[in-house]
Structure 1
């Protein structure tokens, strides 16, 4: 029954992509504008996103958005309403990549943490 509701729901049918709810900061860039703007992403899919962006923009305006662990993505403003905007990407992305940790996961533990975590050093504090 839920599948029928999804098909009959025009909003879902129009999107065509599952949205992943999250709260993530990103940088939004408009063509011809020098200053980049920080926005908060509220949901993300392979084909687009919804962001809190209290700014005046026109529907159809080309944009680029920088998502951590993904990089710059080109797209256009799909809709605008009450401090939020929808952006449709020019090319699909893997939205799960936005949740990956930033940086190299193989980094060595910093010295100050090694000292705290050293079981061979009696009487020293250690992390548990």
Structure 2
């Protein structure tokens, strides 16, 4: 198993226990942030999801379809999620608020990139469905 590099910021977490369905596995993340490109759209924490653009709050435990806005009945939950959204905006940015994130980095680039595989007509790895009967 490779060691995690310590000369750079690593912003991921190991979620294998969750993905493998281990009993008692829990996310290390307190909240999940929904982005559309560089626009923060919503924040979810536990059973609650706040739509940042409309202020609508949904209880996903009882309303997975997001049909009943409960923001007026749960102002403390709205405030809590707004704080999480503000922290996220400082970190990742939000063009809807004209904010650049402090920890946004440009994407990685490689000099002279090459695909992992290349097409070889003598050894095709992609077969059209109409050629399946001839594939052998």
TM-score range with shorter-chain normalisation?
A: under 0.3
What is the TM-score normalised by the length of structure 1?
0.26
More strand by share: 1
More helix by share: 2
Larger Rg: 2
